[in-house]
Homo-oligomer: A and B are copies of this chain.
């Protein structure tokens, strides 16, 4: 049996949207699937059962953070990330995906060097110098033991860095590089951007060859499904080129990377609608790090099956709740005596038991339960939408 099996449950007639069941060694998930992010081996403040109760069937771990602390060897020794973190109803754990660690090296690590072999960086925790290569990323992800592992890729920034690069790390840490990017937005010249995208694509493809070889040699090919990643920035020709090459590998799933790294919603949509149909229709498609509802809905219509983002928990900890009528800021004084739940009619545990008044009080009193409750609601809100 392959590491990942794909079963089409229903195909929408008016769009590319579909319902798929993706089955891994640790169980199945039904798509469209939103994966909560557990950066350091936990969805911040939430017991895994509470995450499962929101409807999540698969979660995403962060290779970069776990590699630095506590180290992937330790997690392997403890039986793998799924059971160690208590994710899943059985002793063996539930479905999980890890990223390659590459993206966080760029956004959080103190990057020393990047070349065709891989990257060298200093840990944001203790300054230790660490090298990450395609082979090392595969080894670390094999030690973590997730059901779906991601190829090590080179993700170019957006041409216009209006905002921070996509934050897939659910962490308050910001590297000097990230801060610099947010403080002094830069616009790359078109020719420079084109060169950077081409370079990233070529590197991504060469690194994918090495990831495939390393993962095949590990003996874990039939236990952990390796997904290839299509880069190409906002250049649709480069997207076509990369998708064509990546899908020449017989992999159990494919991802669209390098999206939501600073570009606007229109560009995200253009790239996703162009790229998704280039990926095999009989394999899961994963759009990395895209978390706003409008973008997710457009991507589902384009045929994307899987999503992940830190927005539900990060916003939750900041007292920002997602509702069907938009974001509400629960610290606002007008909620002090509001007896209504966050979202009237919501079926989540939070909305069934707690008022806006109480949740606002928790934030005023710096009680961590405030962030916990809004994170839980937000996670349920995402699961309800999909």
What residues of chain A have their CB less than 8 Å away from a CB belonging to chain B?
Answer: 40-42, 44-50, 65, 69-70, 74, 77-79, 84-86, 336-337, 339, 349, 353-355, 357-358, 361-362, 364-365, 367-369, 372-373
Contact in complex: A369, B42 (CB < 8 Å): yes
Give the contacting residue for A45; candidates B45, B336, B339, B354; CB below 8 A: B45
Copies of this chain in the oligomer: 2
Contact in complex: A357, B84 (CB < 8 Å): yes
Contact in complex: A361, B41 (CB < 8 Å): yes
Bound complex: CA A41 to CA B359 (Å): 10
Some 22 contacts from A to B, beta carbons below 8 A apart, are A40-B362, A40-B367, A41-B367, A42-B367, A44-B367, A44-B368, A45-B369, A45-B372, A46-B369, A47-B369, A49-B353, A65-B365, A69-B361, A70-B336, A74-B336, A77-B337, A78-B357, A84-B355, A84-B357, A84-B358, A85-B358, A86-B358
Contact in complex: A86, B42 (CB < 8 Å): no
**Given A49-B353, A69-B364, A78-B358, 19 other A-B residues pairs in contact with their CB atoms under 8 A:** A40-B362, A41-B361, A41-B362, A42-B367, A42-B369, A44-B367, A45-B369, A46-B369, A47-B369, A48-B353, A49-B349, A69-B361, A70-B365, A74-B336, A74-B337, A78-B337, A78-B355, A78-B357, A86-B358
Given known A70-B364, A357-B84, contact A339–B42 (CB-CB < 8 A): no
Contact in complex: A78, B339 (CB < 8 Å): yes
Residues of B within 8 A of A354 (CB): 86
Bound complex: CA A59 to CA B222 (Å): 51
Bound complex: CA A339 to CA B337 (Å): 46
Residues of B within 8 A of A364 (CB): 69-70
Chain B residue at minimum C-beta to C-beta distance from A372: B45
Given known A365-B40, A372-B45, contact A74–B357 (CB-CB < 8 A): yes
Residues of B within 8 A of A349 (CB): 47, 49
Residues of B within 8 A of A47 (CB): 50, 349, 369, 372-373
Cβ of A51 to closest chain B Cβ, rounded Å: 11
Bound complex: CA A71 to CA B337 (Å): 11
Residues of B within 8 A of A353 (CB): 48-49, 86
Chain B residue at minimum C-beta to C-beta distance from A85: B358
Cβ of A73 to closest chain B Cβ, rounded Å: 10
Closest 9 CB pairs of A and B: A86-B353, A40-B365, A42-B369, A70-B361, A45-B368, A86-B354, A42-B367, A78-B357, A84-B358
